[in-house]
């Protein structure tokens, strides 16, 4: 009720129609300073507390809110399906559930920057924003796979040369693989941001929608780069270190610290 009181909607003309032999009164409201979903939720609460409808009367919230509800129902299927497809593709390439889980860590890494950037720009969650987040998930999976590939390559190289004799050697191998990935990672992120940032200053028809698609990707790529370079090697070290200790116990070999 307080948010409704602080925002003054511009009410349009009231139209009386007949649909399905029932008369309908349409009240048009043009809202500013708040997203449609939040406004309708507050309006529903206010109506429930202050208005008692006579028998046979009902209120239907239509317009943009109705379209948004339909789109949200579709997203309930699209988002899990997208994540499942990404999971299957990565698993078919790695044949390891653990590696897939490590790659999927890139998604929450990027969401940190996404929501901070949306908050900085004052954007609300919308269908366009969710489209940008879905696109960002695929991009994160790609960069995460490449990062994991560099770490695997360094680990296998150390092992083939007989240099993997303890946790210290594992740390050196991971450090070598992660350092090799710094320049390609920064170059990839720079190209992505350079392609998306101009959209944030675009004007004209459809610019508002395109900005909300690009914003999650811009903010997400920044934190994804930093956290993947900082956290991925640590997680990889814990995973491979546990496997080395397990193999050493089975074979009865003492690992070098």
**pTM for the full predicted model:** 0.70
What is the average pLDDT across 51-72? 78
Q: Which residues of 187-210 are buried (b: 16+ CB within 10 A; e: fewer)?
A: ebbeebbeebeebeeeeeeeeeeb
Tokens linked to 105: 């860590």
Cα–Cα distance measured from residue 156 to residue 20, given in angstroms and rounded to the nearest whole number:
71
Can you tell me whether residue 144 is helix, strand or coil?
helix
List the chain domain ranges: 2-50, 71-251
Which of 247, 35, 17, 16 lies closest to 123, judged by CA? Answer: 35
pLDDT, tens digit, 9 for 90 and up, residues 140-176: 887 888 888 888 888 888 888 877 777 788 888 888 8
Dihedral sign for Cα 107, 113, 118, 124, please.
positive
Indicate the range of 5-19, 34-48, 152-166 predicted with least confidence: 5-19
Quick check: 59 and 53 in contact, CB under 8 A?
yes
Cα–Cα distance measured from residue 190 to residue 221, given in angstroms and rounded to the nearest whole number:
9
7: which DSSP letter? S
Quick check: 90 and 145 in contact, CB under 8 A?
yes
Which fold would CATH assign to domain 71-251? Multidrug efflux transporter AcrB transmembrane fold (1.20.1640)
Find the helix or strand (DSSP H, E) in which 29 lies.
strand 22-30
pLDDT, tens digit, 9 for 90 and up, residues 181-232: 788 888 888 888 888 888 888 887 778 888 888 999 999 888 888 888 888 8
Percent of the chain with pLDDT over 90: 2
Query: What's the pLDDT at 55?
Result: 80
Residue 89 reports pLDDT greater than 60: yes
Largest CA distance in the chain: 85
């Amino acid at each position: 009720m307080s948010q409704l009181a602080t925002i003054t909607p511009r009410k349009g003309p009231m139209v009386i129609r007949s649909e399905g032999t029932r008369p309908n009164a349409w009240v048009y409201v043009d809202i500013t300073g708040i997203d449609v979903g939040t406004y309708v939720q507050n309006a529903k609460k206010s109506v429930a507390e202050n208005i008692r409808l006579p028998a046979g009367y009902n209120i239907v919230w239509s317009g943009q809110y109705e379209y948004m509800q339909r789109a949200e129902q579709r997203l309930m299927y699209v988002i899990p399906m997208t994540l499942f497809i990404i999971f299957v593709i990565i698993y078919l390439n790695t044949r390891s559930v653990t590696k897939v889980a490590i790659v999927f860590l890139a998604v929450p890494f990027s969401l940190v920057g996404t929501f901070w950037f949306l908050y900085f720009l004052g954007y609300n969650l919308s269908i366009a924003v969710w489209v940008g987040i879905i696109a960002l998930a695929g991009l994160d999976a790609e960069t995460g796979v490449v990062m994991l590939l560099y770490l695997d390559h360094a680990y296998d190289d150390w092992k083939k040369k007989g240099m993997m004799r303890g946790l210290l050697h594992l740390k050196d191998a991971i450090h070598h693989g992660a350092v090799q990935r710094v320049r390609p990672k920064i170059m990839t992120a720079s190209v992505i941001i350079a392609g998306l940032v101009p959209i944030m200053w675009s004007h004209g028809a459809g610019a508002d929608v395109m900005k909300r698609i690009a914003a999650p990707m811009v903010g997400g790529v920044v934190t994804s780069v930093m956290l993947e370079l900082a956290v991925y090697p640590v997680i990889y070290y814990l995973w491979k270190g546990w496997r080395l200790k397990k193999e050493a116990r089975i074979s009865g070999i003492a690992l070098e610290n």
